[in-house]
Structure 1
Amino acid sequence: MSNHKITGVFSAATTPLNADGSPDVGLFTEHCKRLIEEGCHGVALLGTTGEANSFSMGERRMLLEAALKAGISPDKLLPGTGVAAIPETIELTKHALSLGVTKVVMLPPFYYKGVSDDGLFNAYSAILEGVNDSRLQVILYHIPQVSGIPLSVPLIGRLVEAFPDTIVGIKESAGDFNNMQAIIAAYPGFSVLCGADPLLLPLLKAGGAGCITATSNLVADSLRTVYDHVHDEAQTAKVDAAQARINGYRTLSNSYVQIPTIKAMVGLKTGNAGWKRTRPPLVALTDAEYAALAEGYAQLP
């Protein structure tokens, strides 16, 4: 897997909130550090799980700066910088680069639906030409069930051909293993990272580069076990057990709306009930849902 420019286990980190709805920066940086300690190669902050599109530009910049100030190395941070307006995507990406953060995860402009590959190619081109920094490495973000904007295999190829040193990977969050395999086959060396934890093991076996997932907020150690030992036949039982544990947490996290549920589970793991808070339009679990979740969580290994 050494031919991949970006490879490893990355957490789609969730973002804790204060009672007034503002980001809890202290708890956030504590969480990011714990994710690294538990085995993540890096933290993909300010993505879907991190509620990024519910935060202002200023809040997004503040959270990235806080992670760096807390001592996390710039090369371990993959902030989401793709928003609906191209000038703001450029601004957020330049801000990351100004701090020494060179890897970003980038949604396409997502408000207008049914746009053509030409339109998406032009949008990404305008962003990269606007940023104009040779250090930048972009992971495209394919999550059509949320964004409404799929990134086709031919579009990926056009972008890789036009920006071979910059467009280096994709987070495939549609959960479509056939699509992941098609991208791997079409573009050798391009980093395909899955957004669905159950697919990490089969993806690595198929030549994928790793994952950016929500369940890593809870079981980063098991994801790292799968990543480190996937090709060691002597460790097959250990890898399978780790993947089964991951799948158990993932299944429980899907019992209710995923993002509030992941946050509640981080609260159960850490003993901090403040993790239950979400920013509207997301809503926290009801007391009954939380009680059932806590019961299920207690059964997990």
Structure 2
Amino acid sequence: MSIHRPSAFAKPRVFAPVVTPFTAGLAVDAPRFVAFCRWLVGQGAGLALFGTNSEANSLSLAERHALLDQVIEAGIDPAQMLPGTGACALPDAIALTRHATEAGCAGALMLPPFFYKGVSDDGLFAYYSDVIQAVGSDRLRVLLYHIPQFTGVPITHTLIERLIEAYPQTVVGVKDSSGDWANTSAMLEKFPGFAVFPASEGLLGKALPLGAAGCISATANIQPHAIASLLNAATLEERVVWEGKVATVRLAVQAQPMIPALKSIVAHFANDPEWNRVRPPLTPMNLAQSGALLQQLQALDFSMPSMASLAAVAA
């Protein structure tokens, strides 16, 4: 099966599931969020707003609507954005997906409905089909989100094939967060032209030669420039150097609770402890944990350049 990849994904790209800052009262901190989005885009990353590491499922529908609007109103091009729009409730998924599409986003990254377990491919096909039909826009581009260790609801290859056949111009890609390289490589082999995004930059060395569309990675929040440099490497030697750099940072961070770790790193380099907040039931890293992680990163010569824009918001 061959699929025509949309121009938005013609060149491999990195997208960051943007971590979400909160105020002391645990409201969404829009100014900090917008400033961080600007920094990420300036470092060469696209924005997978409302992904897993954005604490998306701890945000209300109204918060996600408002935050997307605020990012766009701040002058950031929606063509750089792949908002997460999947939800357990079909009306919520329709509303989020319609909003992203009408805003001009490059696509919508859609979790399956994740409360009921053991659902059939027929049920999942109906869910995605109902969203697509309800949005009813030729501009809609859906990327499926496979993260069965969180959802308990896998996106099977059979389901992908059915959706591509039914909606070849609409269902254009998948983020594979399973951590199963055999699954990622099989997707790349079975669906040439489909925009397959591994969830770790550590897999790019194997995935890019097979046609991967880049990556949508948690640690793109902290090393967007390095991952973009890997994707844009002019020579094999240059690519190998960047592969080593990004993989070692990824390994250090993924050994920790990912969301609190990312926020701790951003807080350190932005010189802004407000970034450490997470919404319950998550808890922030303690000083010993964050100190040990930062020591590891320092030993790797890690830095986050040009964070002055975030520091200015903190001031």
Cα contact 2:200–2:217 (8 A) shared by 1: yes
Give the superposition deviation at 1:101: 2.2
Q: Quick one: which amino acid aligns to residue 91 of structure 1?
A: A
| TM-score, length-scaled by structure 2 | 0.90
Letter in 1 for 2:266: V
Q: 2:307: which partner in 1?
A: none
> Which has the higher mean CA deviation after the structures are superposed, 134-143 or 285-294?
285-294
Q: What is the rounded CA distance, in whole Å, between the counterparts of 1:70 and 1:188 in structure 2? A: 36
Residue in 2 that maps onto 1:159: 163
| TM-superposed deviation, 1:193 | 0.5
The number of aligned residues is 295
| Aligned-partner Cα distance in 2 for 1:246–1:16 | 24
The equivalent residue for 2:304 is none
Deviations 1:154-182 (A, max 9, x none): 11000000010000000000122221221
Task: Please give the secondary structure, in 1, of the residue aligned with 2:232.
Answer: helix
| Gaps in structure 2 of 5+ consecutive residues | 302-315
What is the match of residue 313 of structure 2? none
Report if aligned partners of 1:218, 1:269 keep a CA contact under 8 Å in 2.
no
The whole-number CA distance in structure 1 between the counterparts of 2:55 and 2:287 is 22
1:57 is aligned to 61
- Give the 3 Å change call, closer, same or farther, for CA 271–237 of structure 1 in structure 2: farther
Q: Is it true that 1:291 corresponds to 2:291 in the alignment?
A: yes
Deviations 1:60-93 (A, max 9, x none): 1111111101111010111101010011100111
2:167 counterpart letter in structure 1: F
Matched residues in 1 for 2:219 and 2:274: separation? Answer: 19
Identity %: 39
What's the counterpart of residue 26 of structure 2? 21
Moved over 4 A (4+): none
Counterpart CA distance in 1 for 2:258 and 2:72 is: 28
Where does residue 224 of structure 1 map in the other structure? 228
Cross-structure match for 2:42: 37
Match in the other structure for 2:143: 139
Distance 1:227 1:197 in 2: 10
User: What is the root-mean-square deviation of aligned Cα atoms in Å?
Assistant: 1.4
TM-score between the two structures when normalised by the length of structure 1: 0.94
Q: CA deviation at 1:265?
A: 1.1
1:55 and 1:247 map into 2 onto residues whose CA distance is: 30
Segments of 5+ residues of structure 1 without an aligned counterpart are none
Letter of the 1:243 counterpart: E
CA deviation string 1:235-288 (max 9, x = no partner): 223222211111122122123211111111112222221111101111101122
| 1:32-65 deviation per Cα after TM superposition (whole angstroms, max 9, x unaligned) | 111111111x110101000000000011111111
Written as runs of structure 1 = structure 2, the 5 A alignment for 1:261-300 is 261-300=261-300
Partner of 2:175: 171
8 Å Cα contact 1:265/1:297 also seen in 2? no
Superposed displacement of residue 3, structure 1: 5.1
Which residue is 1:4 aligned to? 5
Query: AA paired with 1:178?
Result: A
Amino acid paired to 2:84: G
SS in 2 for 1:105: strand
Alignment of 1:216-255 (within 5 A): 216-229=220-233, 232=234, 235-255=235-255
